Chain A
Amino acid sequence: MTAPLLKIEDLRTYFYSKSKQAFIRSVDNVNLEIGKGETLGVVGESGSGKSITALSVMGLLSAGPGVITGRIGFKSDRVQKNLLQDIGDFVKLTMMDGKVMAVQKDEDGWQELSEHRMSNLRGKEISMIFQNPKQSMNPFMTVGRQITEAIQLHTEHKSEQAAKERALEWLDRVKIDTPRLRFDNHPYGLSGGMCQRAMIAMALSCEPSLLIADEPTTGLDATIQSKIVDLLAELKAELGITTMLISHDISIISRLSDTVAVMYGGTVVETGPAKAILAKNEDLKHPYTAALLISIPSSENIKGKGNLQAIEGDVLDTINIPAGCRFYGRCNRVTDKIKEKCERQEPDLRDISPGHKARCWLYFD
């Protein structure tokens, strides 16, 4: 593994729910690493904290009652800093027995510092693609204007003409047909797939060090999905861009990722090379990952069984996180030997083979 570009350590993002008078621990003790030029696939059910992790990295959660602590180390050729440095000073979090007791937060100071820290990183160093391409563009501005605006802001192409040339080049690169015509279209004149291509062009045109793709294919139909994935794979091979790819679709993750992190209940339960994690064998794998792989509709998975196996139970309620393993209630591989441990104590993320970590008592004594 090359030197990590982004290193997330002990990231915690909590939201206060007024109606329930409790903290929702959307992201709880997340540790991730993305090496330069690698693609990290983050996979998990809805509500497992994938998107919140991405938004925490971007600093897009600063407004509102959110609480973020931890360390996000970012180290590119141009910038090297901890995105959350000193931000913890504005928050006082009192924890007792794994439960949040009290929180004091200086909202204004927090916001100011967060904005100050992120202002010259967003767009320039870290770009983001959202799930809903059509809603991520200003409906009253032409696609071209929006891309040129970003280019003029972040690159050395300051003049109108140079920026336009560059924007057209990128529109061509993401395989939008007749870029010159599309340049003057408004977002409603483009189909969903074309809009997502334009979004990708906009995100990449500033040559960021890190691209965060938050479910880039959700909301598109199946054929367009596969075309967008092809495009991302091509761009990855061509540019060698570091990507954090968030999706609940394992087939997309398996096509694009070098490493994979599986999230459950706000934390990472397994991380390692994509090949090891997405392989079809059941052993040496977190039970949750194994269950996820079995629940993908494919001819192999229904062979001999007649129907698809779903994971029993519901996604973890992140307000009341149990003391033991988060997956304990739904796990089908609990043995009598480890049962007590599973119920009482949360396992750490530890190596089960070199470079492959899991959070499960099955593999430790």
Chain B
Amino acid sequence: MKSYTQISGEIGEFSDLPFWKKADAIDIVYVSYGLLIVTLVVVSYIFGAFNFLPFDPEDIDLELMMAGPFTGKHLFGTDFMGRDMLSRLIVGIQAYFLPGLLAIFIALFFGTVLGVLAGYRGGRFDTGITYFTNLVDSFPRLVLILLVIAAFKPDIYYIMIVVGITNVPAVASHIKGKILFLKQKNFIEADIALGLPTRTIILKHILWHNCRSILIIQATLGMGEAILMETSLSYLGFGVQEPTPSWGNMVQAGSNYFMKGQFWPSTAPSLAILFTILGFHLLGDGLNNILEGKRNK
């Protein structure tokens, strides 16, 4: 069979096909996989929130401890207290989902505001914001979180606020860099000369048309990071506390039995973490490639 390679470069960019037809097959696969995972997570979250579960996740069944997968109605088996793994996995989503969205919102909102101020206004704003972002960046994130936990209480929302704030510098510097790059091309100057209001220039011409891929990427990366942060802290015992399930404390509880051959109590949540983070990252990456067009093939 003959294979054809698409000629890269400007010819491809000249076509006015809708963006999903211009996209590479691999990007479509990325986005489809990402969308599948994200949809699964969202649907499971809704099921969990309305208590629409196969079993009660905190219901202890002492006769069915450490039952393997596919035992009876327990699809993923049970853990060391006989609680249903699948139900616990679904309810575990609640540990990170809303807090993660909060972290993303904080990072994107404040990052965008600071980035626009630093890039568009420049001058003193730029200096001040650079000092702030350097200050935030210079603290190790885990230390900051442990500080907050020690000062207040081990609440997942507090942790996620810190995760959001520590993500602000990354978003701000991306937006600022993009605006400085756009300022070299003088369409912003041309927009001002055309009398467009500053609001329109910033919101529409800069953020919507030129920065949305940055925001999408940062949002999906931020969700991945939030999941990782929540699970690792819960694993260490700082995050969500037993008996409320979280993927992190499930891995921790199951890890004691891993070497005895009873792998499922730790492996199931581990794989859930792996595939969920992969899904979010691939969604962001694929969307970025499709929306931006692959410039540097």
B13 nearest CB across to chain A (Å) = 6
Contact B16 A135, beta carbon cutoff 8 Å: no
Contact B16 A127, beta carbon cutoff 8 Å: no
Other-chain contact of B187, A63, A135, A150, A184 (Cβ < 8 Å): A135
Please encode chain B, from 189 to 201, with 1 for each CB lying within 8 Å of some chain A CB and 0 for all others.
Answer: 1111111110010
The CA-CA distance from A186 to B209 in the complex, in Å, is 12
**Majority-rule SS of B interface residues:** helix
Given contacts A137-B190, A184-B16, A189-B14, contact A122 B195 (CB under 8 A): yes
- B21 CB–A CB distance under 8 Å: no
Complex interface residues of chain A between 145 and 168 (CB less than 8 A to chain B): 149-150, 153-154
Please encode chain B, from 71 to 97, with 1 for each CB lying within 8 Å of some chain A CB and 0 for all others.
Answer: 000000000000000000000000000
Contact B195 A153, beta carbon cutoff 8 Å: yes
Query: Which residues of chain A have a CB within 8 Å of any CB of chain B?
Result: 58, 60, 63, 119-124, 127-128, 130, 132, 135-141, 149-150, 153-154, 184-185, 188-189, 199, 202-203, 206
B154 nearest CB across to chain A (Å) = 44
Please give, as numbers and ranges, the residues of chain A lying within 8 Å of B197 by CB-CB distance: 119
The CA-CA distance from A122 to B194 in the complex, in Å, is 6
Contact A138 B209, beta carbon cutoff 8 Å: yes
Query: Which residues of chain B have a CB within 8 Å of any CB of chain A?
Result: 10, 13-14, 16, 122-123, 184-187, 189-197, 200, 205, 209-210
Contact A138 B186, beta carbon cutoff 8 Å: no
Contact A154 B205, beta carbon cutoff 8 Å: no
A74 nearest CB across to chain B (Å) = 14
The CA-CA distance from A149 to B196 in the complex, in Å, is 9
Contact A135 B186, beta carbon cutoff 8 Å: yes
Contact A132 B186, beta carbon cutoff 8 Å: yes
Contact B16 A123, beta carbon cutoff 8 Å: no
Contact B210 A140, beta carbon cutoff 8 Å: yes
Task: Name 10 A/B residue pairs within 8 A (Cβ), A-sorted.
Answer: A121-B195, A122-B194, A128-B194, A137-B187, A139-B187, A149-B200, A150-B195, A188-B10, A189-B13, A206-B194
Contact A123 B189, beta carbon cutoff 8 Å: no
A-B pairs, 7 with minimum CB distance: A123-B195, A122-B195, A135-B185, A140-B209, A136-B190, A128-B193, A123-B194
The CA-CA distance from A225 to B186 in the complex, in Å, is 21
Please give, as numbers and ranges, the residues of chain B lying within 8 Å of A130 by CB-CB distance: 186, 189-190, 193
Other-chain contact of A58, B10, B14, B122, B193 (Cβ < 8 Å): B193
